[in-house]
Structure 1
Amino acid sequence: MKVRKKAQVRRAAPVLVVLAAIFAGDAHAAVPEAQVKRLGQDLTPIGAEKAGEGDIPEWTGGLASVPSNVTYEPGKHLQDPFASDPIRYTVTGENAAQYSDILTEGQRAMLERYDSYKMNVYQTRRSCAYPTNVYEATKRNAGIGELVGGGNGVSKAIMGFPFPIPNSAYEIVWNHTLRYRSFKLTRQFAAAPMTPAGDYTLLKVQDEAIFWWSDPSKSSAEELDNNSIFYIANTIAPARAAGNVILVHEAMNAAVRPRQAWQYSPGTRRVRRAPNIAFDNPGVNTDGLSTADSFDGYNGSLERYDWTVVGKSPRLIAANNYKTLHVPYDQFLTRLHVNQDLVRYELHRVWEIDAMLRPETRHVYSRRTLYLDEDSWQITGSALYDGRGEIWRVQEIQQLASYQVPICGYNAQIDYDLQASRYLAAGLQNEEPPVNFFADELDGDRYTPSAIRRMGAR
């Protein structure tokens, strides 16, 4: 595996099993049994370092149930178990150099670009936790999971995280892609493409997904018929956009069958194939501020980039952002960036992955740098570079633990366009119903072109 050296990034030798392995084709470095046994010992059940480090505390199990200092009320947003935590320090453009070693490239760019941008840093709370069966599946995966299709697919493993003790950047990105998000989920979220003046028209979307990888009845990826995710997104507001519906069938191995997508347009009253819902095509409901493959930090095939592990080191991420769930949109959405008084940052160890565009392929981003929290394998931020090699866009994904499940997810994805002085706030749930992580009523037969035609025509 290639590891690009950086002065401020330490190599994660204790977790990476084969530092010298070079990823090529379908090569797979098996994880020795002695390493697998570390899960639940000096490593957490999903592969993070259990021990603390400086301001980062030891992981002691996370929020595996509703904390004793809050009350969980179904149908209402989660209460903040850390509401009494004071701000420890604030990073601004003026003192950014003092904290340079714990800032991401994107955060440095934001602090340099906007005088009003700041980061309030709180005590680190390693709150991420998952169900016991996810931990059990992850440990089983550690010894059997394999990459296939030149890194564009996963075999043998199932449920949980496929590569808790990773051997390459590809395996780390797959941990993000297949991370546990429940089996069947429904959600309503809002998206706000902001103008430079701070104006916006709020879009509302009802989406739903079946994560076949997390089907408890399956024992290996080979039983999934090359299906990873079935996804529907139905735009319900404003009126001019209502009725637009997309359907996506995501594959387990894109080298065998690429993503399949369809879109229903109320204007034509027709369902059409939508191969543009992939890679660098503009994302749906983004006003051109984000690409299709930037949804969720990164999604889809890895084929257009060469992926490299830079290392793992302490960085500031937006974590445990319960406070933002309880404020109206007009207080959260402010000019140039979201209201930074409401965003909570913590110091966590994160994986840093560089993706460099392959010479024979094309994409509007020549390079992507992704940051993944070790406690969730979730992308929590990224820096996206234009063809000149300059940072064009910066992503921030605001993580929080849904302790009633338990699961680690997010409640907002912010895409900042530094060249246009605009941003897209998506995945917002502040004024929407809570996510339903137990949507058992969903059935795979629903995810068809004819079904989205009926849905959009209502």
Structure 2
Amino acid sequence: MGIKLKHLLVSTCVLLASSAAMAKAAPDQAARLGKDLTPVGAEKAGSKDGLIPAWEPGQKVGKLAGEYASNPAVEAEPIKFTITAANMAQYAANLSEGHKYLLKTFKDYKLNVYPSHRNVAWPDFIYKATAKNATDCELSGTDDPDKCALGFPYPIPQNGAEVIWNHRLKWRGNNVVRNNDQMIVDQNGHFQLAQLVEEVQFLYANEKNPVPLEKGKGLFLYYLSKIMSPPRTAGTMILVNESGGTGATGRAAWLYSPALKRIRRAPAVCCDNPYEGTDGQQFYDQVDMFNGVLERYSWKLVGKRDMIVPYDNYKIARAKYKDLVAPGHVNQDLPRYEYHRVWVVEATLRPGERHTYAKRVFYVDEDSWDIVMVDCYDAQGGLFNFQEGMLTPQFNVLTAFTVPEVIYHFDSGRYFLTALQAEGRPNNYAAEFPAGYFTDQAVQQRATK
């Protein structure tokens, strides 16, 4: 058989396999939810060595607006031990490649490890919807969730793409207005600050009016960001109507330019194109650790792994920006690390596809389905970038997300901080948006008033 024909047949088989609907969880597996598994699919029990505790969900507390997340009891705990270059071999099995690189490269880099807590919790309506999704929800290819409603779509994942969709579709409140301050930090620790305001309406995971996902009908959130500073980019806006699917049924995006005073379709709001105003330090598909289409990669579910990950990061989330930075890396007196179980997912670039990252390894917390770390590799197999998300439970909404997030650029020595909020305003989950707010016409009208 000729090489070209053989390659064509292999490619055809891959394509057919990716387009088929993935199998739902078997009823006996789905029945484990709420028993030996938590209602969203994590293992309830702790680890045998005692390093990872059993799940003990927290309770809802706090206001929807005007408060930063805090947990005084957790924040008062002392450090258990510190990992440095001198002792990292002892913990190598529990470390990401990104953390190993940083420990080897910077003499002052360290990981302060604290007692572990598993208290991420979700509203009861999310638990009920997740149980139904376990036996109803399917995934066609990598980008088309089908027969899914409100809760985590794949609490018992069958493949790596389903794990990523759990991250993308998690409950985060009905609406939110948030400050997203960003810093580009050079090798000497000097930084440039940019400030954004983001408005988001969640359509799929919405308590009041959830929009179910069906193949070809996958609109699941509206997103609008406005750059407030620096002056050279101030006024720029990005509007996204985010959907499952690809091409015509996938993401629709627009970019408003204050210089032109008009909004235009922006198909480049995707993948490894740089986010506006980040000087190439963040790709569009690195926002929220990962978002956008999955179709360029093959997604392998490697399995579970006990790892040391950023967790319960109330301290760094509230830190002043000048205290965050150090030459080469974040001020490591601030992040908190704990032992947790994570799902490991390998994304490998498909033949014929293009992306700066030929391979990505995602580490996804089992309790929150949040991506907490990503090792990013170039086409030569070298570790190119490392993403780190400082996971923090939010008990006022019963959710969890990463704040702040860091992208280390090992080629240049610079790093990028995003999702900073401490010098802005706390998230406002009480926000309401009128009908038609997230359309290109509405954005154009508001921008040019």
TM-score, length of structure 2 as denominator length: 0.92
Aligned with residue 30 of structure 1, among 2, 24, 35? 24
Partner of 1:60: 56
Partner letter of residue 52 of structure 2?
I
Aligned with residue 451 of structure 1, among 435, 442, 445? 442
Partner of 2:200: 209
CA distance in 2, matches of 1:450, 1:317: 43
1:42 aligns with 2:36: yes
Deviations 1:262-289 (A, max 9, x none): 1111112121221111011112232111
Q: Secondary structure at the match of 1:201?
A: strand
Deviations 1:362-395 (A, max 9, x none): 1111111110000011100101111211011000
Partner of 1:8: none
Partner of 1:354: 346
CA distance in 1, matches of 2:193, 2:294: 32
CA distance in 1, matches of 2:215, 2:25: 23
Aligned with residue 119 of structure 1, among 87, 111, 119? 111
Partner of 1:328: 320
Q: Between Structure 1 and Structure 2, how many residues are aligned?
A: 430
Contact 1:210-1:444 within 8 A present in 2 as well: no
1:260 aligns with 2:256: no
- From the superposition, tell whether residues 455 and 336 of structure 1 become closer, same or farther in structure 2 (CA, over 3 Å): farther
Partner of 1:373: 365
CA distance in 2, matches of 1:311, 1:304: 21
CA distance in 1, matches of 2:216, 2:423: 36
Partner of 1:13: none
Aligned with residue 286 of structure 1, among 278, 282, 285? 278
Partner of 1:5: none
1:226 aligns with 2:221: no
Partner letter of residue 48 of structure 1?
A
Deviations 1:342-370 (A, max 9, x none): 10001100011111111111111111111
Contact 1:416-1:422 within 8 A present in 2 as well: yes
1:394 aligns with 2:390: no
C-alpha deviation, 1:45, in angstroms: 0.7
Q: Secondary structure at the match of 1:308?
A: strand
Aligned with residue 91 of structure 1, among 83, 86, 100? 83
CA distance in 2, matches of 1:107, 1:161: 29
Partner letter of residue 189 of structure 1?
N
Partner letter of residue 92 of structure 1?
T
- From the superposition, tell whether residues 160 and 376 of structure 1 become closer, same or farther in structure 2 (CA, over 3 Å): same
Contact 2:64-2:429 within 8 A present in 1 as well: no
CA distance in 2, matches of 1:164, 1:226: 19
Aligned with residue 157 of structure 2, among 166, 169, 181? 166
Contact 1:113-1:418 within 8 A present in 2 as well: no
- From the superposition, tell whether residues 354 and 444 of structure 1 become closer, same or farther in structure 2 (CA, over 3 Å): farther
Partner letter of residue 143 of structure 2?
N
- From the superposition, tell whether residues 229 and 72 of structure 1 become closer, same or farther in structure 2 (CA, over 3 Å): closer
Deviates more, 1:46-55 or 1:322-331: 322-331
Structure 1: state its 5+ residue gaps.
1-21
CA distance in 1, matches of 2:228, 2:443: 13
Deviations 1:60-91 (A, max 9, x none): 22x2223xxxx879513233331221101111
- The list of structure 1 runs, each at least 4 consecutive aligned residues, that deviate by more than 6 angstroms after superposition, is none
CA distance in 2, matches of 1:366, 1:110: 21
1:129 aligns with 2:121: yes
C-alpha deviation, 1:290, in angstroms: 2.0
Aligned with residue 183 of structure 2, among 172, 189, 192? 192
Aligned with residue 430 of structure 2, among 434, 438, 445? 438
Partner letter of residue 80 of structure 2?
R
Contact 2:144-2:218 within 8 A present in 1 as well: no
TM-score, length of structure 1 as denominator length: 0.90
C-alpha deviation, 1:325, in angstroms: 3.0
TM-align CA RMSD: 1.9
CA distance in 2, matches of 1:296, 1:399: 11
Partner letter of residue 329 of structure 1?
Y
Structure 2: state its 5+ residue gaps.
1-15
CA distance in 2, matches of 1:286, 1:245: 14
Contact 2:144-2:214 within 8 A present in 1 as well: no
Q: Secondary structure at the match of 2:390?
A: strand
C-alpha deviation, 1:444, in angstroms: 4.5
C-alpha deviation, 1:223, in angstroms: 10
- From the superposition, tell whether residues 366 and 222 of structure 1 become closer, same or farther in structure 2 (CA, over 3 Å): closer
C-alpha deviation, 1:303, in angstroms: 0.6
- From the superposition, tell whether residues 282 and 123 of structure 1 become closer, same or farther in structure 2 (CA, over 3 Å): same
Aligned with residue 319 of structure 1, among 303, 307, 311? 311
Partner of 2:411: 419
CA distance in 1, matches of 2:64, 2:255: 36
Contact 2:171-2:206 within 8 A present in 1 as well: no
C-alpha deviation, 1:414, in angstroms: 0.4
Contact 2:144-2:216 within 8 A present in 1 as well: no
Deviates more, 1:220-229 or 1:353-362: 220-229
Deviates more, 1:176-185 or 1:24-33: 24-33
